[in-house]
């Protein structure tokens, strides 16, 4: 297809979007007010069109238009689409930036990015002097970073002297939301105007299933049920594409495999109701998928072929796929939640909310009437599904965000303007962690180390370990490790049991090669072996390692190294020395970041965490320490997996004396001192209760026994 004809077709397409008729009025509304809330059904053209309208109206004269997305994939695919519509090369006028992947240039005036990226930009440039318009998109998703950006932008304008200082032209802020809460948003932003794009939606009939009840939360029986239903729709319903909602990559791949297998045996002459349907095109869609594969999702299927997209929640609002007529809803979503049982954030599969279920169903009614098949029962809907999704700010760790706020000069993080306030205990927990990592001092002020830490797009603990490594001159061990922990799982797990055995064997050999008994060292060793190999992709294939993940890790490592170098040139870095072998040096650095994740052997193979929760945990079977019996008394771990048991994953043995001096930090801190503001609001009675509870937590006595 020639460039011009492709342009014509996309231009024509975009003229049919509901937003098109409101172009002039929308531009006027943005120009006429500092804050503007824009709402409209998903798929009406907000994300792809509005930035183009503002660009055409000359709003990029003074600065860029920045559009934030809560999800990486959305930022990337939408930027691709808009670059195509504007007939430019991605990365020139239209670009994107997500963590560890910057596809922008000097010429970029329309910039899609994750909300986390804009937050980092505010750190370097608090008045966003490069931007003429900032669009916070997908605000209804209520991601943690978007919520914080909302508060920061509101605060910026609450002090006009400050908001214009360093800017030569006014900043316009647009807040876009697919649904509800527009009154709340407008009120939050000082009663700003709301622009509602009228949209037409068609009725969607929803049916409940009989198979999945509340007990299925624990098992993954719903994958099979989803597949069965998708095939049922394919064979018995009229033409029209299917969108299936599942929770994550491995599940989606399994469902696709099953679908492929079952669809093979369909005899289209006899089995299918609609005789115009002659095949099924099965496409997965999840966050970490390569982008060229994602592009396929948007293309119409060949004639007489039905498309079936098996997706995560990303297809609920962030991305709109045309032609969908049938929805299969599993009723589950993967969500990051703070788990008080283990005191950490954990990715969990949980039932979606009723409002989320409505949103999923709505995807079938964009262009004509549709059907939504919920695999769960009415009882599940009534008893297990909450009305609304709790905003992320009220359910995840706030450590990184609190450090960012503190570095931005927001000392009183409790009275920050939140759209919905996080629970105070989460804020206190964040302050406590930052104090434990020496990022803030006893009075809650950011330390020099804290200012260094905020520069790294990593979890504070991992950053702490990297910085320790650099002080000790062993950044070559810690940077690759941090990179490996920042990419998706590197180990291939084939579905076929024979192949699985082969992969396991290779993975075990890699663990042994790195000295054995240390999952962190295995990751480091895989990085180094692959990097030094003549044919790295062949090496990966041979060892059952995901080459794509390794490639990302190489790029992430380079970027982390650049950040470190830049900081080393700018500031004084502490220099320390160390006598001991490399393995010990490596593990000691890890201890400075992971002492909050220490566990001690309790009985048999069960370990007990030391963070005050005293949770009983088991080493995950994927760890090279899983079968180790002897001499394993103290370990640190990277993350936790909760099923019917609590497992720790990515584990390494340490010696008690390495953490001995750090462990008291887990208990000594008075969080009310860290947040001097909070204390005034606490009654004596509450204080006594809190102190008693903290004292009780100190119970697991630390002994001096060691390996
Ligand atoms: P909204 O933000 O209001 O939900 P969008 O701007 O995302 O709407 O979508 C408008 C239209 O653009 C939809 O019909 C969608 O299918 C289409 N679209 C968006 N991204 C792509 C893409 N990468 N390829 C093809 N079509 C796309
Ligand atoms: Mg959108």
Neighbours of 11 (CB within 10 A): 11
Ligand 1 pocket list (CB less than 6 A): 17, 40, 42-49, 77-78, 80-81, 298, 320, 322
Question: Average pLDDT, stretch 263-282?
Answer: 90
pLDDT the model gives residue 702:
30
Give the pLDDT band of residue 51 (cuts 50, 70, 90): very high
Please name which ligand lies nearest the alpha carbon of 48. 1
pLDDT the model gives residue 632:
84
CA nearest ligand 1 atom 23, residue: 81
Kindly give the residue spans of alpha helices, DSSP state H, lying in 437-546: 448-453, 460-471, 475-486, 497-513, 519-532, 536-543
Question: Average pLDDT, stretch 344-370?
Answer: 89
Residue from 16, 19, 23, 45 whose mutation best tests the ligand 1 pocket (most atoms within 8 A of CB)? 45
Please name which ligand lies nearest the alpha carbon of 16. 1
- Pair 387, 355: CB distance under 8 Å: yes
pLDDT the model gives residue 14:
85
Q: What's the mean per-residue pLDDT of the chain?
A: 87
Spatial separation of the C-alpha atoms in residues 586 and 593, rounded to whole Å:
12
pLDDT the model gives residue 45:
94
Tell me the three state secondary structure of residue 457: coil
Question: Average pLDDT, stretch 323-333?
Answer: 95
In ligand 1, which atom is closest to the CA atom of 319? 7
Cα 41 to middle of ligand 2, angstroms: 9
Whether the CA torsion 561, 565, 570, 571 is positive or negative: it is: positive
Please name which ligand lies nearest the alpha carbon of 51. 1
Residue from 50, 79, 80, 81 whose mutation best tests the ligand 1 pocket (most atoms within 8 A of CB)? 81
- Pair 68, 122: CB distance under 8 Å: no
CA nearest ligand 1 atom 15, residue: 320
pLDDT tens string 167-216: 888 999 999 998 767 899 999 999 999 999 988 788 999 999 887 654 55
In ligand 1, which atom is closest to the CA atom of 42? 4
700 pLDDT higher than 60:
no
pLDDT tens string 528-559: 999 999 999 999 999 999 998 899 899 999 99
- Pair 457, 120: CB distance under 8 Å: yes
In ligand 1, which atom is closest to the CA atom of 317? 4
In ligand 1, which atom is closest to the CA atom of 49? 6
612 pLDDT higher than 80:
no
7 pLDDT higher than 70:
no
pLDDT tens string 35-46: 999 999 889 999
Residue from 43, 49, 367 whose mutation best tests the ligand 1 pocket (most atoms within 8 A of CB)? 43
CA nearest ligand 1 atom 17, residue: 320
90 pLDDT higher than 80:
yes
Give the pLDDT band of residue 158 (cuts 50, 70, 90): confident
Q: Which long-range contacts (CB under 8 A, 24 or more apart) does 161-166 make?
A: 162/127, 163/127, 164/127, 165/127, 166/126, 166/127, 166/129
305 pLDDT higher than 90:
yes
Cα 310 to middle of ligand 1, angstroms: 18
Phi and psi at 602, nearest 5°, equal -100, -85
ipTM of predicted assembly, 2 dp: 0.98
Q: What share of the chain is helix, strand, coil (3-state, %, to 5)?
A: 45, 20, 35
Cα 171 to middle of ligand 1, angstroms: 26
- With pLDDT > 90 as the criterion, what percentage of the chain qualifies? 59
Spatial separation of the C-alpha atoms in residues 359 and 317, rounded to whole Å:
8
Cα 19 to middle of ligand 2, angstroms: 12
Give the pLDDT band of residue 687 (cuts 50, 70, 90): very low
Spatial separation of the C-alpha atoms in residues 158 and 420, rounded to whole Å:
18
- With pLDDT > 70 as the criterion, what percentage of the chain qualifies? 89
Question: Average pLDDT, stretch 402-414?
Answer: 91
Residue from 48, 69, 136, 300 whose mutation best tests the ligand 1 pocket (most atoms within 8 A of CB)? 48
Neighbours of 252 (CB within 10 A): 23
683 pLDDT higher than 50:
no
Please name which ligand lies nearest the alpha carbon of 299. 1
Residue from 96, 320, 359, 362 whose mutation best tests the ligand 1 pocket (most atoms within 8 A of CB)? 320
**Among 380, 138, 361, which Cα is nearest to 243's?**
361
Give the pLDDT band of residue 671 (cuts 50, 70, 90): low
Question: Average pLDDT, stretch 370-374?
Answer: 96
Residue 338: partners with Cβ closer than 8 Å, 6 or more residues away: 344, 345, 346, 395, 396, 397, 426
Cα 137 to middle of ligand 2, angstroms: 7
CA nearest ligand 1 atom 22, residue: 81
pLDDT the model gives residue 180:
64
User: What are the angstrom distances between the C-alpha of 335 and each of 312, 347, 429?
Assistant: 11, 5, 20
pLDDT tens string 69-80: 999 889 999 999
Please name which ligand lies nearest the alpha carbon of 13. 1
pLDDT the model gives residue 581:
87
Name residue 308's beta-bridge partners. Answer: 242, 282
Cα 42 to middle of ligand 2, angstroms: 6
Please name which ligand lies nearest the alpha carbon of 39. 1
Cα 631 to middle of ligand 2, angstroms: 54
In ligand 1, which atom is closest to the CA atom of 137? 2
pLDDT the model gives residue 168:
80
Cα 393 to middle of ligand 2, angstroms: 21
Burial class (CB in 10 A: 0-12, 13-18, 19+), 262: middle
Cα 226 to middle of ligand 2, angstroms: 27
Question: Average pLDDT, stretch 560-581?
Answer: 87
- With tokens 């969500």, the residue in question is 335
Question: Average pLDDT, stretch 247-275?
Answer: 89
Range of lowest pLDDT (67-81, 145-159, 388-402, 633-647)? 633-647
Q: Higher-confidence residue: 232 or 290?
A: 232
Give the pLDDT band of residue 397 (cuts 50, 70, 90): confident
DSSP letters for 161-215? HHHHTT-SS--EEEEEESSS-HHHHHHHTTS--EEEE------EEEE--SSB-GG
């Amino acid at each position: 297809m020639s460039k011009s004809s492709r342009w014509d077709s996309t231009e024509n397409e975009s003229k049919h979007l509901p937003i098109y008729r409101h172009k002039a009025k929308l531009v006027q509304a943005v120009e006429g007010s500092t804050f503007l809330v824009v709402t409209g059904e998903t798929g009406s053209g907000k994300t792809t069109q509005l930035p183009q309208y503002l660009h055409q109206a000359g709003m990029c004269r003074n600065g860029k238009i920045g559009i934030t997305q809560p999800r990486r994939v959305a930022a990337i695919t939408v930027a691709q689409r808009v670059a195509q519509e504007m007939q430019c090369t991605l990365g020139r006028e239209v670009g994107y930036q997500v963590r560890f992947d910057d596809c922008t240039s000097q010429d970029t005036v329309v910039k899609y990015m994750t909300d986390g990226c804009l937050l980092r930009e505010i750190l370097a440039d608090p008045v966003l002097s490069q931007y003429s318009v900032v669009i916070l998109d997908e605000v209804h998703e209520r991601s943690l970073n978007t919520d914080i950006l909302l508060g920061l932008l509101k605060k910026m304008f609450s002090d006009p002297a400050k908001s214009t200082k360093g800017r030569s032209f006014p900043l316009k802020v647009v807040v876009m939301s697919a649904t509800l809460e527009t009154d709340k948003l407008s009120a939050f932003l000082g009663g700003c105007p709301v622009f509602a794009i009228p949209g037409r939606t068609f009725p969607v009939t929803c049916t409940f299933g009989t198979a999945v009840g509340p007990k299925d939360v624990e098992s993954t029986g719903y994958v099979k049920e989803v597949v069965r239903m998708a095939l049922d729709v394919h064979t018995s319903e009229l033409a029209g594409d299917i969108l299936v909602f599942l929770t994550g990559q491995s599940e989606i791949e399994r469902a696709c495999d099953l679908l492929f297998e079952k669809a093979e045996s369909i005899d289209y002459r006899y089995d299918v109701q609609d005789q115009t349907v002659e095949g099924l095109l099965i496409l997965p869609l999840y966050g970490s998928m390569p982008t060229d594969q994602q592009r396929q999702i948007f293309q119409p299927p060949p004639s007489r072929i039905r498309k079936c997209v098996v997706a995560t929640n990303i297809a609920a609002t962030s991305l709109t796929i045309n032609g969908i007529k049938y929805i299969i809803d599993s009723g589950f979503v993967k969500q990051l939640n703070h788990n008080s049982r283990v005191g950490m954030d954990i990715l969990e599969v949980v039932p979606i909310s009723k409002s989320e279920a409505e949103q999923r169903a709505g995807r079938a009614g964009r262009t004509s009437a549709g059907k939504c098949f919920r695999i769960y029962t009415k009882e599940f809907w009534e008893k297990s599904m909450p009305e609304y999704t709790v905003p992320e700010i009220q359910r995840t760790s706030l450590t990184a965000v609190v450090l960012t706020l503190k570095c931005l000069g927001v000392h009183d993080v409790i009275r920050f303007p939140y759209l919905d306030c996080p629970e105070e205990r989460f804020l206190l927990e964040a302050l406590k962690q930052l104090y434990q990592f020496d990022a803030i001092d006893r009075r809650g002020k950011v330390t020099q180390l804290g200012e260094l830490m905020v520069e790294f797009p990593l979890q504070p603990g991992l950053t702490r370990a990297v910085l320790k490594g650099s002080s000790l001159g062993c950044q070559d061990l810690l940077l690759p490790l941090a990179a490996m922990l920042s990419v998706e799982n590197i180990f291939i797990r084939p579905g076929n049991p024979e192949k699985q055995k082969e992969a396991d064997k290779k993975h075990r050999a890699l663990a042994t090669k790195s000295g054995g008994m240390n999952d962190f060292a295995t990751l480091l060793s895989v990085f180094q072996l692959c990097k030094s190999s003549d044919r790295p992709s062949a090496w990966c294939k041979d060892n059952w390692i995901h080459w794509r993940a390794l490639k990302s890790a190489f790029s992430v490592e380079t970027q982390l190294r650049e950040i470190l170098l830049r900081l080393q040139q700018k500031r004084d870095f502490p220099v320390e020395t160390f006598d001991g072998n490399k393995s010990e040096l490596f593990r000691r650095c890890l201890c400075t970041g992971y002492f909050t994740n220490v566990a001690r052997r309790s009985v048999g193979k069960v370990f007990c965490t030391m963070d005050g929760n005293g949770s009983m945990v088991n080493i995950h079977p994927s760890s090279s320490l899983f079968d180790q019996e002897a001499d394993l008394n103290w370990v640190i771990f990277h993350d936790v997996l909760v099923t019917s048991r609590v497992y720790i994953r990515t584990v390494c043995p340490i010696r008690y004396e390495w953490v001995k001096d750090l462990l008291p930090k887990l208990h000594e801190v008075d969080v009310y001192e860290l947040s001097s503001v909070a204390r005034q609001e606490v009654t004596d009675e509450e204080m006594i209760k809190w102190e008693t509870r903290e004292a009780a937590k100190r119970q697991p006595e630390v002994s001096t026994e060691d390996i």
